[in-house]
Structure 1
Amino acid sequence: MSIKIDNVAIAVRDLEATIAFFTDLGLTVLGRDTVHGEWADTAVGLDGNHVKIALLQTPDGHGRLELFEYIHPQAIETQPTLPHEIGMHRVAFAVDDIDDALDIAARHGCHPLRGVATYRDQYRLTYVRGPSGIIVMFAQELKPS
Structure 2
Amino acid sequence: MTIQRLDNIGVVVEDMAAVVAFFLDLGLELEGEAEVGGPDVDRLVALEGVRCDLTVVRTPDGHGRLELMKFHSPAATTAAEPNAQVNAFGFRRIMFAVEDIEGMLSRLRARGAELMGDLVKYENGYKLAYVRGPEGIIVALAEKLA
Q: Deviation per CA, 1:24-54: give whole Å up to 9, x if none.
A: 2211111100010111111112112211010
Look up the match of 2:11.
10
Look up the match of 1:128.
131
Q: Deviation per CA, 1:39-93: give whole Å up to 9, x if none.
A: 1111112112211010111111111111011111122344123111221120110
Matched, 1:35 2:36: yes
3-state DSSP class of the match of 1:39? helix
Alignment of 1:1-145 (within 5 A): 1-3=1-3, 4-77=5-78, 78-80=80-82, 81-143=84-146
RMSD: 1.2
CA distance in structure 1 between the partners assigned to 2:109 and 2:126 by the alignment? 21
3-state DSSP class of the match of 2:24? helix
CA distance in structure 2 between the partners assigned to 1:98 and 1:10 by the alignment? 24
What TM-score comes out, normalization by structure 2 length?
0.92
Q: Deviation per CA, 1:100-122: give whole Å up to 9, x if none.
A: 11112112200111111121051
CA distance in structure 2 between the partners assigned to 1:136 and 1:37 by the alignment? 33
How many residues align? The count is 143
Does 115-124 or 57-66 show the bigger shift?
A: 115-124
CA distance in structure 1 between the partners assigned to 2:59 and 2:11 by the alignment? 15
What TM-score comes out, normalization by structure 1 length?
0.93
What is the percent sequence identity of the aligned residues? 40
Does 132-141 or 67-76 show the bigger shift?
A: 67-76
CA distance in structure 2 between the partners assigned to 1:13 and 1:129 by the alignment? 16
Structure 1: any 5+ residue segments left out of the alignment?
none
Structure 2: any 5+ residue segments left out of the alignment?
none
